[in-house]
């Protein structure tokens, strides 16, 4: 197909206008066109008052597409792209045991889905519950403070991303990203997921998509075990022979380790089993909440009330003296949610439904940390996270309320929680806390710098009545489990995978990594 990019149209003009403009630029007669549609589109609001939609239009011709692409019309940004096809040549060595997948988040779902579709025996172990069980457990925590440490925002069917915004954006440039989007669409994601430059499903729709994928794995012969926690490994002469599940042994020569970034007891078990690990940089900080209408005004200016514009979203960053502060996981029209997975530790995250129609916008404002800050031991970063979470729990009253401050007080170096236009959305309530007593000074210093810098980029970002809620510690995994070009650890048969192992950062990149790892197993072994 041909991709014609940089097609600009007014907001609300629809896909038809973009397609018509692209075909006009291409100059191909209507009789020579097989198909034309919007491939990707995004909103360009960099200049307030000059907002437009920027689209890439896909065109399939009846004639020679390569020839047309080699001589594009003057001033037309044109690219030829072969039809995407994901095929793997199967290996011929027998795999003596089923492939075991530990973790049923995006990496585990896509790895298990590919293996099952290709006819391989696969067993999925998920420490949490099915989606129905998980939703009940999460609602119980958010309404009554009753935390299930095995089934919560971090653990259970769908992984941690299920209770987020369901963002399907990534910085990786991998052809499998389109394959992942197609799979999501096949299982119930909105059709526009395939067209948006920054697609999202929303936590409400993502739950159904994950369940549909699970049912397909089962139809293809896969086995999924909920409430099945990986508790040990049997390793002999550097080769994996079995895994321990809830204390019982299961023969296993191929294990895809896709446990997510919060499986702290699993990290401890792996270290005890002699699996090489190393500390990995991550970030810590707070959630900031504004009125969504104020974010819209800061981004769109006088066009903020236009019904053709989506809820505004932003991504801001700043570096200073070798350290970064940036916004992360921005949730338009969403909520700040309790995301703990351990007793006695407060954790925050952000979440939006598909419509993104709640009053507040929120995002993490996070500061980078590394082994220079918390130590070189493989689990030092994990312990650093835990300490912040436990101190936040104590500071806010030991009742699951979250530490909070208004931006005005925080920038003045004071503990204050003056409520103005913004009502904190954290379900279990917030408590005034001095963040300078909670975080190291280099974190609070960079947070203040970030707020001031971001306010210059997005007017109103550092509004005095914006609310900061903490702590945000689970931005990414605090460990990396090294693997070779064959995707295996030094322990043969162990395949570290996804965000928890340090090889992904979000739903899309985790799903792609799951496909890559499963593909490596398929290429080496017969079904």
Kindly report, residue by residue over 18-33, the tens digit of the pLDDT.
999 999 999 887 788 9
Predicted pLDDT at 195: 83
Predicted pLDDT at 265: 98
277-308 residues labelled b (16+ CB within 10 A) or e (exposed): bebbbbbbbbbbbbbbbbbbbbbbeebbeeee
Residue in 225, 242, 110, 82 with CA at minimum distance from that of residue 522: 110
> Per-residue pLDDT for 385 more than 90?
yes
Mean pLDDT calculated for residue range 435-456: 98
Predicted pLDDT at 49: 67
Predicted pLDDT at 244: 98
Q: Which of 50-64, 65-79, 131-145, 180-194 has the highest mean pLDDT?
A: 131-145
> Per-residue pLDDT for 426 more than 90?
yes
Domains and CATH numbers, the chain: 2-80 (3.30.70.2700), 93-278+481-526 (3.50.50.60), 281-472 (no CATH)
Is the C-alpha dihedral spanning 412, 418, 421, 427 positive or negative? Answer: positive
Mean pLDDT calculated for residue range 157-186: 89
Q: Could you tell me which residue, 456 or 68, shows the higher pLDDT? A: 456
> Per-residue pLDDT for 285 more than 90?
yes
Predicted pLDDT at 157: 98
Looking at the DSSP assignment, which residues form a beta bridge with residue 337? 349
> Per-residue pLDDT for 387 more than 90?
yes
Q: How confident is the model at residue 471 (pLDDT cuts 50, 70, 90)?
A: very high
> Per-residue pLDDT for 110 more than 70?
yes
Mean pLDDT calculated for residue range 465-469: 98
Helix (H) or strand (E) holding 513: helix 507-524
Mean pLDDT calculated for residue range 330-352: 97
Judged on CB neighbours under 10 Å (0-12, 13-18, 19+), 273 is: middle
> Per-residue pLDDT for 48 more than 70?
no
Q: What is the pLDDT of residues 492-518, one digit of tens each?
A: 999 999 999 999 999 999 999 999 999
**In whole numbers, what is the pLDDT of the chain averaged over residues?**
94
For residues 368 and 468, give the distance between their C-alpha atoms in angstroms, rounded to a whole number: 18
Tell me the three state secondary structure of residue 293: helix
Mean pLDDT calculated for residue range 387-407: 98
Q: How many CB atoms are located within 10 Å of the residue 237 CB? A: 6
Tell me the three state secondary structure of residue 94: strand
Predicted pLDDT at 200: 87
> Per-residue pLDDT for 118 more than 90?
yes
- H runs (alpha helix) in 337-422: 371-374, 380-395, 407-411
Mean pLDDT calculated for residue range 105-129: 97
Q: How confident is the model at residue 349 (pLDDT cuts 50, 70, 90)?
A: very high
Tell me the three state secondary structure of residue 132: helix
Predicted pLDDT at 102: 98
> Per-residue pLDDT for 84 more than 70?
no
Percent of the chain predicted with pLDDT > 90: 82
Q: How confident is the model at residue 194 (pLDDT cuts 50, 70, 90)?
A: confident
Q: Could you tell me which residue, 165 or 417, shows the higher pLDDT? A: 417
Q: Could you tell me which residue, 432 or 308, shows the higher pLDDT? A: 432
- Lowest-pLDDT range, 44-53, 237-246, 318-327, 363-372? 44-53
* Start-to-end C-alpha separation, the chain: 34
CB 324 within 8 A of CB 317: yes
């Amino acid at each position: 197909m041909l991709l014609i990019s940089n097609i600009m149209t007014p907001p609300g003009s629809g896909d038809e206008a973009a397609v018509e403009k692209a075909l006009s630029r291409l100059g191909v007669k209507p009789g020579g066109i097989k198909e034309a549609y919007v491939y990707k589109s995004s909103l360009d609001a960099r200049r307030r008052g000059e907002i437009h939609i920027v689209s890439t239009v896909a065109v399939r011709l009846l004639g020679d597409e390569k020839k047309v692409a080699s001589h594009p019309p003057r001033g037309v940004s044109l690219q030829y792209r072969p039809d995407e096809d994901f095929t793997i040549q199967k290996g011929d060595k027998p795999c003596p045991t089923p492939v075991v997948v530990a973790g049923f988040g995006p990496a585990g779902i896509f790895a298990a889905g590919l293996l099952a579709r290709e006819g391989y025996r696969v067993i999925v172990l998920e420490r949490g519950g099915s989606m129905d069980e998980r939703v009940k457990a999460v609602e119980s925590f958010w309404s009554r403070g009753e935390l299930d440490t095995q089934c919560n925002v971090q653990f259970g069917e769908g992984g941690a991303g299920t209770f987020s915004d369901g963002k399907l954006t990534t910085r990786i440039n991998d052809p499998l990203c389109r394959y992942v989007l197609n799979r999501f669409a096949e299982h119930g994601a909105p059709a526009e997921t395939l067209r948006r430059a920054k697609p999202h499903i929303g936590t409400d729709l993502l739950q159904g998509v994950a369940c549909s994928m699970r049912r397909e794995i089962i139809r293809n012969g896969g086995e999924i075990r909920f409430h099945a926690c990986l508790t040990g490994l049997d390793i002999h002469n550097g080769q994996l022979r079995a895994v321990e599940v809830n204390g019982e042994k299961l023969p296993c020569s191929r294990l895809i380790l896709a446990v997510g970034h919060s499986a702290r007891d699993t990290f401890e078990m792996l270290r005890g089993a002699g699996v090489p690990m190393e500390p990995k940089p991550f970030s810590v900080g707070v959630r900031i909440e504004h009125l969504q209408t104020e974010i819209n005004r800061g981004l769109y200016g006088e066009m903020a009330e236009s019904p053709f514009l989506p809820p505004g979203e932003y991504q801001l960053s700043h570096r200073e003296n070798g350290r970064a502060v940036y916004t992360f996981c921005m949730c338009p029209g969403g909520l700040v949610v309790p995301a703990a997975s351990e007793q006695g530790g407060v954790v925050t995250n952000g979440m939006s439904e598909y419509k993104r129609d709640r009053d507040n916008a929120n995002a993490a404002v996070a500061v980078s940390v590394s082994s220079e800050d918390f130590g070189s031991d493989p689990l030092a970063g994990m312990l650093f996270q835990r300490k912040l979470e436990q101190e936040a729990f104590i500071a806010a009253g030991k009742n699951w309320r979250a530490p909070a401050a208004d931006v005005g007080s925080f920038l003045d170096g004071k503990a204050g929680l003056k409520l103005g236009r913004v009502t904190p959305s954290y379900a279990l309530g917030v408590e005034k806390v001095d963040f300078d007593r909670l975080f190291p000074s280099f974190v609070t210093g960079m947070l203040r710098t970030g707020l001031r810098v971001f306010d210059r980029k997005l007017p109103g970002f550092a509004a005095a009545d914006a609310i900061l809620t903490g702590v945000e510690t689970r931005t990414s995994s605090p460990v990396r489990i090294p693997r070779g070009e064959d995707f295996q650890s030094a322990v043969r048969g162990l395949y570290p995978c996804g965000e928890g192992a340090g090889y992904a950062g979000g739903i899309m990149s985790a799903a792609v990594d799951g496909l890559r790892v499963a593909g490596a197993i398929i290429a080496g072994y017969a079904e």
